């Protein structure tokens, strides 16, 4: 969670509020009870994400406390502006590094896993064969772009190829990005899924979706991308396996405070790339599409 200590301490100083540091929290007097013998029993986490009084049991987050005390609230801009600035600088640096581009990309033609040529070209997609690393074989490749600047490449095997199904090219910081971020969204909502094909299948069905590059690559570092895209509603739709069950709860906890976040757990053994149409209808209803 983002450390908001500097912001919180500035507000304490501005309002003349005394406090006591305690591990990852600040202890202050609770404004919801008047028991004088129990001072400084309200714990405020340094992230501002939670507060708790050990006397009266009152809870919430920094903004709950700020409302009562007349303090400045934590907004998305204040919480994530440093990350957004750092992200912009990193994108500029990656754009200048030409060594991350796979050599020999060819224009895409044909279908792939039921997706037609016109749709795949709109993403865009390319064909590539690694003559140096032959185990990577014949692949479909997608540039990962953020604000129309390439930050890396990802790929998948072509049908009937006996090679590793997924492959991210060196240099792609998968924990920071989503795909396809620059594909037009006509709404303020998005479905987050694990894999590239999961996202493309939903987009082809008219449902806004981004992939997070697998459960191990979910992190709060992706949140500035949602903020920049003015996303307000998020539906988490991870694979119906143990990894998906665990990751979806972590992602929900990271997002629920900032966005209208809902969970759609795929039936066991399925994923958004292969679930029946009836489940997509449920997803549409959850996002009012």
Model confidence pLDDT, tens digit, residues 38-52: 566 789 988 888 898
What's the full length of the chain, in residues? 289
Residue pair 176/195 in contact (Cβ under 8 Å)? The answer is no
What pLDDT, on the 0 to 100 scale, is given for residue 39?
64
What pLDDT, on the 0 to 100 scale, is given for residue 98?
46
CATH superfamily to which 5-74 belongs: Zinc finger, CHC2-typedomain (3.90.580.10)
DSSP assignment string, 120-186: HHHS--EEEE-SSSGGG-EEEEEEEEETTEEEEEEEEEPTT--S-SEEEPTT--TTT--BTTTS--S
How is domain 85-286 classified at the CATH fold level? Answer: Dna Topoisomerase Vi A Subunit; Chain: A, domain 2 (3.40.1360)
Model confidence pLDDT, tens digit, residues 229-248: 889 999 999 999 988 888 99
Distance of CA 82 to the CA centre of its chain: 17
Tell me the mean pLDDT in the region 6-35.
87
- For the chain, domain boundaries: 5-74, 85-286
Tokens of 235: 């539906």
Q: How confident is the model at residue 55 (pLDDT cuts 50, 70, 90)?
A: confident
The H or E element containing residue 9 is: helix 5-15
What pLDDT, on the 0 to 100 scale, is given for residue 47?
83
pTM for this entry: 0.66
Residue given tokens 């600088």 in the structure block: 89
């Amino acid at each position: 969670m983002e450390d908001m200590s500097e912001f919180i301490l500035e507000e304490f100083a501005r309002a003349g509020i005394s406090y006591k540091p305690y591990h990852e929290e600040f202890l202050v007097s609770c404004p919801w009870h008047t028991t004088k013998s129990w001072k400084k029993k309200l714990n405020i986490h340094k992230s501002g994400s939670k507060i708790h009084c050990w006397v009266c049991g009152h809870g919430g987050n920094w903004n709950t406390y700020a409302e009562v005390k007349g303090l400045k609230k934590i907004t998305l801009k204040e919480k994530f502006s440093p990350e957004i600035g750092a992200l912009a600088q990193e994108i500029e640096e990656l754009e200048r590094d030409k060594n991350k581009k796979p050599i020999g990309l060819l224009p895409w033609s044909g279908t792939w896993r039921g997706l037609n040529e016109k749709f795949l070209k709109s993403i865009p997609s390319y064909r590539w064969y690694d003559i140096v690393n032959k185990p990577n074989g014949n692949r479909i490749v997608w540039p990962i772009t953020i604000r129309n600047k390439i930050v890396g490449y990802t790929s998948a095997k072509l049908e009937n190829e006996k090679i590793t199904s997924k492959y991210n090219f060196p240099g792609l910081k998968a924990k920071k990005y989503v795909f396809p971020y620059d594909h037009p969204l006509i709404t303020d909502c998005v479905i987050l899924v694990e894999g590239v094909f999961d996202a493309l299948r939903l987009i082809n069905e008219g449902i806004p979706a981004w992939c997070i590059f697998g459960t191990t690559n979910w992190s709060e570092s992706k949140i500035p991308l949602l903020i920049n895209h003015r996303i307000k509603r998020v539906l988490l739709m991870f694979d119906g396996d143990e990894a998906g069950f665990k990751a979806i709860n972590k992602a929900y906890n990271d997002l629920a405070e900032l966005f209208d976040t809902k969970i759609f757990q795929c039936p066991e053994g399925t994923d958004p790339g292969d679930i029946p149409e009836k489940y997509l209808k449920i997803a549409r209803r959850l996002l009012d599409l």
